[in-house]
Every structure is written in C-alpha cells, then in structure tokens.
Structure 1
C-alpha cells in the first residue's frame, strides 16, 4: 500500500503533493488512514524508521542522481543506447544539461522525498512518550541518513534549500537555497550526533543494513576530507581503523549471495527473487539490445576504455570489475565494456525482468583505508589495499612511479580502480580539485560551473525566490 503524505510535502521541492515509501525488507509501509493516531508507539516508529531506510533504494538506485553524477559525468562511464528518455540521459555524458532536464528534476524530487521521510520521523519522535534511549537511537539513525543525503546533494547542486523539519506548503515558499557552508554545518552536526548515539555493529548484527557508529564516523571522515579538514578526518577515521578487515580476495566482494562481509560498513540490503525489494544493478548496467545477457538491458554506466586502461598489468580487479563484451545468440562477439560487479545471471524473472539479489555497498573498509592515507599523507593504508591484490607497494621499486609520482596521484589511481563504478569517482575528483582537469580529457566539459547540476526549471517556476546555478542561467 502506498503512503500518501498529503499537503505536508514541499511544493517547490517535489512538484507534487504526494509521496510514497517503498517496501523495506520485512515490514509493510505505513498507511495514512489513521495518520492522526500514528507516531505513538515503538511499533509505529519502527515502521516509520523502516520507511526512511527504504528511501535508500531510490537514492542509490542504478539510474539515480548519485549514479549519474558520480559515474556518468566522470571519465569512468559512458552511454551508447540507453533505456528511457535518450536526450535527457545523454546530456549527462555530453555536459549539455539544461534546467528543463527531466532526469535532474526527478533526482531533485527523489532527494527531497527521501528527506521528508527522515524529517517526519525526527519531528514526531521529539514529542513521543517513549524511552529516551530509544528516542536517541531513532534520532541517530535518521540523522545519519539525513547527513548522507545532504552530503551527496550539496556536492551535486551546491547551495540547496536546507530543510530539517516537515513543512507546510505555505512555509515551503520561505525556504530558499542555503549556502554550502551552512549545509555542511548541518551535515557535521547530524553525523556527530549519529556517531555518539548509534550502536556498534555487534549490537545490530541481527538486522543488517542498520546504521552504526562506525558508518557515521566513516562518512564524517569523508565530509571532513571534502572540507580539507584533514586533522579532524584523521581523528574520526582512526576510530574506524582496525574495526573491519579486507576480505582475502577482491572477487569475494561480489556476487548475488555475498552480503555484509567483514569489509562492509554500510550496505543496502536486497532480497531478490520472489522477495522485495529486488536489485536491478545487473540489468540496468547491462548493454541494451543484447538479447542474451539479460531480459532487460538498461545501458547505464557502460565502461570507458579510459577506465579499463587505468588498471596496471596483473591487477586482478580489472577482470573482476569489467566485462569486455558478450557473445550474442548468433555466435558473434560484441565488444562492449560493462560492469561485472553486480552480475546475477541466475535471477528469476517472473514478469520479464530479472529480480536480482545483489546488495549495494555504500561504505566499505577499503574506502576508509584510502581516505586515511589521504588524510595523513601516509601510504601505509594505501598499501594495505594494494597488498590484497598482490601489487607492489607505493614507494617500492615495482610501483609505477613514473605514472603516479606523488601520493596524491597514487591515491587518485587506487581509488579509481578499487572502487570502480561504485558511485565515487566524480565526488573523489571534486574533493581533490582535480575534476575539471581530469574529466575534460574524455568528456566535453567547459568549466567548473558544470561540475554541479542545474536547479530544475520546475522548482524555480514554483518558487521564483530559488536562484539558478551560474553555468545554467539563460538556458
């Protein structure tokens, strides 16, 4: 059953007055038929919290804003034929975005719908007559999600409306774009609260997918790095160091039945098959019109030659991560590069589309190790990642120093091949102020202003107080 959230949703954000929450793993979504009497009991809040977590399925979907921004607008991914509105999707690859782009508007809507589900829980939990420890736990989980969402959104759009409570339609028109600094201040406050009150992983081991103290700290460390606050990043990331272990073999990270490994810090859970929700990374990232790999090929995030050639000789991560093509039903090999991490060829397809089982990892330990080297300027942590795949350590005789002579370039290279196609690349390049120089080698980007998305035209039409990003004025 869908949850109709009447009149409370922000008109300028959503363009509609309704929203719906997706089903989560084991709980039905809330019905608003008794909304006035809801948000009273622990059971009520568990449903609401579950609905808030369910927004991850949209926010990190394979054709989500994070996917388009982090990969399609980087040098990692491209499009050939793609399902959906071709021109609006190709615009991300070609850096020809306009405020009227329907996909940009969809991403904006999905982001603020997700935030509404978070903020309504935070609003209601304050006045609930429940145990304080439980209320702190709920608030910490919601603040983690809000920090995660705003961290992505502020990097994607720059100044954005900062909404921390459920608003009436009238109130929404008084909310304009907040400066980036204010958004980051809120993110840091949320993640600090989450770090203080979220449990350790062992306490929620029976409910995988729940946010933990270390997930909040890992994310906070990335926020501090983005703000070039390396001392604080080092402090918080060090708290996570040693609490996880790299899986022995890189290939052991991937597979429809591989879930919540010793390396996983925060992971979105899928059931697949007859369960709900099912994963569609495999199908969306498969080439279109292949007629053999999958019943549905979305054509999203096809792999560039530039990414494929980034791997060093003997780096096993290349073949684990990337397929070089497929053989069609006529026996002809089609040379097209596409992802190999979320393949699920045995997934059932009762309605003509595979219902895959692959989880999606938002934060994993290798990411933390590489961030620690970035924060501390110590290659020790980088070399732990390289050791797993049997490659020479940075600083050793066998390392390709001529190509990556500095630790900064070594980290840029290592993050690209270790975390390929996992929705990190453009965020990483922006953090190190390398995005324009790197991306323009393979994509027709013209200026720094194109490293953020336009504010959707519909949003500005609904509320003229909202301003446009400079690269898109007059379009």
Structure 2
C-alpha cells in the first residue's frame, strides 16, 4: 500500500475552487470537465487557481486554526472550558501537555501543507504558461506573498520544517526532510522582497482582500523583527508609515459590516448570510458553549483570561470592546464568563442552525505596524500614536503607568497585548522578544523553552522515520 506523505497530493482542478473572473474569492463556484493537463492555460484558469490559494486563508486563519491555538491558547490571553470535539486534545494547548499523537496538531499540519500546495501548484504552472508577462508577474507576486505568510506562521509553530517549494509526488516527498529555521526564513524574506517589488499599491487592487505592496512590506518588517534585524525591519516598515490611518474611535474598527477600513492592510474577506459563501465563524466559535442565547452554537474557543482583562488600564475603551464579561441566560440569570467582543454579529441569519456571520478578519493592520516601528527604532512616538487614539497618557509623561511598564520594551509589550488582543499575535510576540517562558509561566504550566514549538505529528514520523521530533516531545 502506498503511504501518504506529509503534503497532500491534490489535483487543483478537481477541487472546489473560487471564481476569479472579475470577482473576489468570496464567490465560490465548482469546476467541472477539466483536468490538470488542460486547466492551467488561460488567464481565467489562473484567476481561479489564484483565488483558491487565497481561499486557504479561511482555514489557515480560522477561529479554530493552528494559528489561533498557538497564538492565543498557548499564551496568557486565552483559556478553554467546555469545547466541542476531543476536549483533551484541545485542553493540551493551554495545559502544555501536548503529545505527538495530538489529533489537533496533525489537523493543523495537514491544513498548513494544503495551503502551501495550493500556492506551489500555481507557481509551478505559471512559469511555463504562454501568457502576458505582466499578468504572470502579478500572479507570482501574490503567491509568493501567501507562501511567505504561511511559512512565517509555520516556522514559528514548529521550528525546522520540510521546505516544499513545488508540487511533490508521494515518492518525492520522502526525500524532503526538515530544513533548519534559517533556510525557512531565507525563503520567506526572498518571497516577500519579490512581492514588495511587484505587488500593486492598495489603490490599484482589483478587488478587496488581495495582497498589496504595503502588505508585503508590513509582513517583511515583522519577519525582520523576528530574526533580530531591527534596522532592516525599520526600513521596511517606514515605507508603510503614513500610508494608512488609525480608525477613530477604536470601537469603529469592529462590527459585522465594518470592512477594509483605512487601517486595514491585509484582511480576509467573509460574506455572511448564505451557507454557500464563506461566512465568518469567529462569533460562534468564541462564544461560550453553554450560552444558547448569544448564538445557537458556541464553540468555547479562546475564552478570555482574567489576566488579559486586568492588563487594560482604567479608562481604556479597548477593554470593553475586546471583552464581554458574561451573558444573561434564558432564565434571566447573568452568567459571569469572559469572552471576546470584537467579532460580534447578533443579527446574523442562522437557517442551518449556525450563525452565518459577516465579520472580516484583519491579518495586518496599521496599529500593528506602528507598534512594530516603535520596537524596530526604539522610538516611543509610534507607540504614542496608538495610545493617542484611545486618549491614554503617553509614554514618557508623568501620567503614564511607568511603575508597571518602566522600559520601552515593556511598554510596547503591554500596548501590543491590549491593542491586538485575540487577533493572533500574543504568543508570537512573546517568542520574538524571548519573553514567553517568563510571562506565560506566571499563569500556565510551561516548563521550558522547548515547549514554545509544537510537536511534529506522530503520523508524519511514522510515514517517514527520517523526519526528526522536536526536543520537548521526544519519547512521548
């Protein structure tokens, strides 16, 4: 029997793809009567394939995705109580009790490499296509941005990875072992440098949700910060500075119908109201499981910790916008349980028994860029721009809570936590600043730095014993 490799070998034309002929990747349409040999020929074919690669974002950044679990559940921001599915495998993230046999870790691995495959097959086929060079360059730039985005998350989640840059057969995949992190980051940087050079300005995008030059530069700045290249990070981020605006007030950033604001740099597009379109699931997944009032179905994901709630300063409007303190049940009793308040869609229709919500998800926004600039340049003025929006005392003033955040580094850490709470940043931030053990260890049982990466799934090593396991999970 032929074994299955770590990368799904999927023929793209046989998938349900996205209609890209003058439409966004929201408009899903099945492809029929096509095969691999005759599909990758026309502009229309590649529009479909490109949109399919973008559609991977719905799973990659979904509310119950690997990025969500890693960035929030493994941090001090979020916890779990009752959740659907195999509870022990989900609780293992907050309890730092992960094992290679964890079914969720394997699901995340599969989803990540499916996303990589959807990108790589487009890059592989576009090279030899007899199409306009400007169009080909545009396709390549978009796909290299997505590949960099996916690998950037993956390398932080697992460390060394099988580095796949083209479609592989099952047999070929056995020769692809884990590449060192440095090689992964080199590919990420090269992809983003190409993307930043060749992607259009936001004003020239054909549809919302596609990658722009500034999206590539913003992500490149974050990559440089992660690899301790602060000068290069500042150079990239300064090219984005001033090209966007902070939306005021902060509460105006959120709402089921708030989309692609002046602050949004790269945003995943959802369209609620129909089960045939990619509706948003953050509202229902982040509602408590037992509520039966707020939503028809509550996923119980990323319930807010007291520690996060207490991080907000008195008078910070972001606290109420970020955290709901509880809900009133059908009997009229208030249930005190903290959960998110950023992705709320109480008017969402639910004809199939689940809310078909409309909320978009911002992967990159301008406040993130400003706080990264403060980190890259050691200049608090960028931090203070973020605080000015919410009318809080500026860093360096007498009123600033310097007794709690006495250095610029701690002030940035605090500001990133409250500004970007539950937006899939926290554990990545703490890893980047080498603070994960010290900070998370105050509220969760993390034992050592080796637990700041996930295990390689057991089934992956069983399929190819030449692939090594991360240190914390050897022998488990």
Q: What TM-score, normalized to structure 1?
A: 0.96
- CA-CA distance at 1:18 after TM superposition: 7.5
Partner of 1:85: 86
Distance 2:284 2:437 in 1: 31
Residue deviations 1:63-109, cap 9 Å, x none? 00000000000000000001111010000010000000000000000
**Quick one: which of 7, 13, 33 aligns to 2:6?**
13
Retained in 2: the 8 A contact 1:29–1:47?
Answer: no
Partner of 1:4: none
**Following superposition of structure 1 onto structure 2, how do residues 32-71 of structure 1 map, counting pairs within 5 Å?**
33-71=34-72
**Following superposition of structure 1 onto structure 2, how do residues 434-445 of structure 1 map, counting pairs within 5 Å?**
434-445=435-446
**Where does the alignment leave 5 or more consecutive residues of structure 1 unmatched?**
1-6
- CA-CA distance at 1:230 after TM superposition: 0.3
Retained in 1: the 8 A contact 2:8–2:113?
Answer: no
Distance 1:122 1:17 in 2: 15
**Following superposition of structure 1 onto structure 2, how do residues 71-470 of structure 1 map, counting pairs within 5 Å?**
71-204=72-205, 206-274=206-274, 276-470=277-471
- CA-CA distance at 1:17 after TM superposition: 6.3
Residue deviations 1:384-437, cap 9 Å, x none? 000000001000011000000000000000000000000000000000000010
Residue deviations 1:140-197, cap 9 Å, x none? 0000000000000000000000000001111100000000000000000000000000
**Count of residues in correspondence between the two structures:** 466
Distance 1:394 1:31 in 2: 59
Is 459-468 or 16-25 further displaced after alignment? Answer: 16-25
SS in 2 for 1:53: helix
Q: Superposition RMSD on alpha carbons, in Å? A: 1.4
Distance 1:21 1:305 in 2: 42
Partner of 1:3: none
- CA-CA distance at 1:247 after TM superposition: 0.6
Residue deviations 1:124-144, cap 9 Å, x none? 000000111110000000000
Retained in 2: the 8 A contact 1:198–1:212?
Answer: yes
**Where does the alignment leave 5 or more consecutive residues of structure 2 unmatched?**
19-24
- CA-CA distance at 1:22 after TM superposition: 6.0
Distance 1:32 1:232 in 2: 48
- CA-CA distance at 1:31 after TM superposition: 4.4
Retained in 1: the 8 A contact 2:79–2:305?
Answer: yes
Is 15-24 or 349-358 further displaced after alignment? Answer: 15-24
Residue deviations 1:6-39, cap 9 Å, x none? x9xx932147868855653124254474221011
Distance 1:361 1:290 in 2: 26
Retained in 2: the 8 A contact 1:146–1:190?
Answer: yes
Structure 1's 136 and 37: CA in aligned 2 closer, same or farther, altered over 3 A? same
Retained in 1: the 8 A contact 2:8–2:114?
Answer: no
Distance 2:9 2:78 in 1: 32
Distance 1:403 1:21 in 2: 52
Distance 1:353 1:438 in 2: 37
Retained in 1: the 8 A contact 2:324–2:339?
Answer: yes
